[in-house]
Amino acid sequence: MYLGLLIPIFSVSEYDYEITGCPIPVLGNYINNMAKYVGCSVKCGTGISKVPDNTSCYNITHRVWENMVHPYRYANCPLGECKNGICEANNKTEDCYKGADYEK
């Protein structure tokens, strides 16, 4: 079951293909058992795929996400909202974790 553009943790790997058809990194959270996108855009083929505006996201770089380790809990992951392919910080945080990658 989907709630808006968030995806259930129990079906989350490290990526979501739901919105753009291209793999977009995600992180799970402990508040509502849902995942959010890391950033709001990803290189896809010869272009850039963007997550829709007003979508919740984590305001961290893909490089930081790549260095995160499953199943460690990370405190104070910065939150934001997608605006034209950029995750704009909203000065809120929540604990998050990187899911297991079942799709590799």
Task: Give the pLDDT confidence score for residue 65 in this predicted structure.
Answer: 93
Instruction: Tell me which residue of 42, 31, 38, 33 sits closest to 14, measured CA to CA.
Output: 38
What is the pLDDT at residue 36? 93
What pLDDT sits at residue 104?
Answer: 27
Query: Residues with Cβ < 8 Å from 67, sequence gap 6 or more?
Result: none
Q: Which two tokens stand for residue 77?
A: 């992951």
- Give pLDDT, residue 1: 30
Q: What is the model's pLDDT at position 84?
A: 96
| CB-neighbour burial class of residue 7 (10 A; exposed 0-12, middle 13-18, buried 19+) | buried
The pLDDT tens digits along the chain (104 residues) read 333 334 344 444 555 555 557 788 999 988 887 889 999 998 887 888 889 999 999 999 999 999 999 888 999 999 999 999 999 999 999 999 998 764 32
- Ordered domains of the chain (ranges, CATH): 7-97 (2.30.130.100)
Query: Which pLDDT does position 99 carry in this prediction?
Result: 84
